[in-house]
Structure 1
């Protein structure tokens, strides 16, 4: 039993190392050890194994690691939502061209949202959205949309979980979710990022359930409350178009 525990712990630590690269393209030994809270000698052994298996590659000049070819090979076998992200890309591009701001598509995964597709604004000052980014459900327009239409047990876990931010009042948040379900959209002003604003709407699949959140985001200097409300109607048009393409 003890050997099994050690094996599982080693797997968890190796996965923790790989997850470090969701935020950074290249990381050194010291940086990785600091992020996951392990001694450098332990991390070095795990890095060596991951490199040998092709999950990481090391730059000999900088001594830093980045994701290896095995990760990209695995990505070619992602489930259907990845295909949906590619299918919905043209509609998102048309929305970006129409509104001039960054467009993102999110799915809920547990108590987080994951950006599965994004189309960047072409303006000089814009919000850059990284595909694959994981964000909490507690703040942000898309988070509130996904939380509003999530099963009750998900909302309860979210509100009672240890990751709930102290600066967000739970009762006010629940009231926001009720309003979102009435209005059909959510807005946010600098809730997660200083200087950023967004509006999001649900994407309803053919089954009648909310399968994603579609958002437009950009700097608060361009996105006033009035502008976001006008954009919400345009987002609903695109979301309806997308819903016909999804199960």
Structure 2
């Protein structure tokens, strides 16, 4: 019973915090404690405590002259990953279409959730025989092309943690060999899965960088193994890398080279 009451109270606190944040609008960007209390139906002391906590986390800022509050940059940091993913999906779509047309194969957009690569967009090949997957599919095989790209850009300590914990399946590859493989991915700017996770599939992935130079997604081309020889693989690598670079440019990334 105590646990249930605590869960209910916790949910209620979260609802109150969200109600307070909703008081900040485009029409009324600066709001005081009394106004918020009246809108959400809470005592002013409760509103003050909520705002004090949010101010500590920079989710709201207080104007020293008026003593009123406005939304702070901390909220942008919280929403940043979501906004980046939504932006990259919108920006990437027409370029993924061009990638599909150039290669004739399936073009895919993946994002990283910290331990898995997730497909968030897919434009199937126009061929009768094609390689596709269910939207939202998650990948944690270290031999997956997108996983290689994401791990190649991951913080070294986090990458080592994922590998040693077994969260990333190296499929018999030693950690040292795998790190060498990731070094190559970073050097050439793309990764290849040539029938390694499935004898019937080839995947080529390249990283997409935003205006900060941070990896936010991967562009990938997926194709049936039987259709991809040496020359076709080289074409997939070139086209996928160029597409990722173009998406990055549209996101504001400026190459140093």
TM-score interval for Structure 1 and Structure 2 normalised by the shorter chain: 0.5 to 0.7
> Which residues in structure 2 correspond to 1:1-40 (within 5 Å)?
3-4=3-4
The change in CA–CA distance for 1:7 and 1:93 in structure 2 (over 3 A counts) is same
Q: Work out which of the two has the higher radius of gyration on C-alpha atoms and give 1 or 2.
A: 2
* Equivalent residues of 1:203, 1:240 under 8 A apart: yes
The equivalent position to 1:84 in structure 2, one of 82, 88, 104, is: 88
Report deviation, 1:5. Answer: 10
Residue 100, structure 1, aligned to residue 104, structure 2 = yes
Distance 1:86 1:204 in 2: 15
The equivalent position to 2:183 in structure 1, one of 178, 183, 199, is: 178
> Which residues in structure 2 correspond to 1:1-247 (within 5 Å)?
3-4=3-4, 79-80=82-83, 81-136=85-140, 138-165=142-169, 167-246=172-251
CA offsets 1:40-77 (integer angstroms, 9 cap, x no match) = xxxxxxxxxxxxxxxxxxxxxxxxxxxxxxxxxxxxxx
CA offsets 1:18-51 (integer angstroms, 9 cap, x no match) = xxxxxxxxxxxxxxxxxxxxxxxxxxxxxxxxxx
User: How many residues end up aligned between the 2 structures?
Assistant: 179
Distance 2:86 2:198 in 1: 26
Report deviation, 1:217. Answer: 1.0
Distance 2:225 2:210 in 1: 31
* Equivalent residues of 1:112, 1:135 under 8 A apart: yes
* Equivalent residues of 1:137, 1:147 under 8 A apart: no
Distance 2:223 2:180 in 1: 25
Secondary structure at the residue paired with 1:221?
A: helix
Distance 2:215 2:82 in 1: 18
Report deviation, 1:83. Answer: 4.2
Residue ranges of structure 2 left out of the alignment (5+ in a row): 12-80, 253-257
Question: Hey, which bits of structure 1, 4+ residues long, moved more than 6 A?
Answer: none
Q: CA-atom RMSD, angstroms? A: 2.5
* Equivalent residues of 1:198, 1:228 under 8 A apart: no
Residue ranges of structure 1 left out of the alignment (5+ in a row): 12-77
Q: TM-score, normalised by structure 2?
A: 0.63
Q: TM-score, normalised by structure 1?
A: 0.65
Distance 1:145 1:192 in 2: 15
